[in-house]
Structure formats: structure tokens, C-alpha cells
Structure 1
Amino acid sequence: MTKIRTCRGAAKRFKITGTGKIMAYGANHGHKLGKKSMAKKKLMLKKRVLHGADARNMKRLVPYLKG
């Protein structure tokens, strides 16, 4: 069986926890930050766990992802 190619862009953006969950940063933190509250901006900076279909799709993109 041949190896699966890893999507290098996804490998740089996602990390995996010790229990196998995939962590990702929050979206909407690139521009138009003046109208967003500081609390909202701080929430977007934190990593969060991907659930359901999102996590399944990421595991297909980065099959050999390490922590």
C-alpha cells in the first residue's frame, strides 16, 4: 500500500493532542479588528478542538500528524 500525501498547508495550521483530538486556531482574526471587542479578539487567538466532520476531514488531509 502506498503512502498518503500530507497537505503541507494543513500540517502547519493544526496540531494534535495526546488523546488524538485536533486543535485549530479561531477564524476571523486577520483584518477588520477595530470593530471587534478585545474579548472577542482574545477568544479568536486561542486554539480550540475540532469536532465531527471537521476533525474527520483534517485527519484525511494530515494522516501522519504528530503532537
Structure 2
Amino acid sequence: MAKLKLKTNRAAAKRFKVTGTGKLKRNKAYKRHILTKKSTKTKRNLRKAGIVDSTNEKQMKRILPYL
């Protein structure tokens, strides 16, 4: 009997990319609106991509089986 195929969570698939070492890359929050009170330094640091925390890695890999 063949192993069942797993469904990818499409919402998550659009938001995450895999790095060369297999870590998940994500965009940072808090950069959509109310930017006037945030410092230039804060906004600049929010531009860079973040890495998914190791505590969430297992859950993310489960909903993104083929990513």
C-alpha cells in the first residue's frame, strides 16, 4: 500500500522560503502601518528577513512537507 500524500498549507507556503541549510526564512512583522512613530533604525532592521525560531521549526516543517 502506497504512503499517503500530505497536503501543504498554502498560506504558509506563500510566506516561507527554505535556505540552503534547510532553515525557514520569514518576513518580519510590524512594518505595514503606523510607521511614523518607529525609528529609522527599527524600520531598517525590519527589512531584513528573519529565521523561524527553533521552537517552531518542527511545527512549520509539518505543515510544509515539500518545501
- The normalised TM-score by structure 2 is 0.86
1:1-67 alignment runs, 5 A limit: 1-65=3-67
- Root-mean-square deviation (CA), in Å? 1.0
The sequence identity of aligned pairs, in percent, is 43
SS in 2 for 1:23: strand
Aligned residue pair count:
65
Q: State the distance in 2 between where 1:28 and 1:54 align.
A: 20
| Structure 1: unaligned runs, 5 residues or longer | none
- The normalised TM-score by structure 1 is 0.86
Select the structure of larger CA radius of gyration.
2
**Runs of 4+ with deviation above 6 angstroms:** none
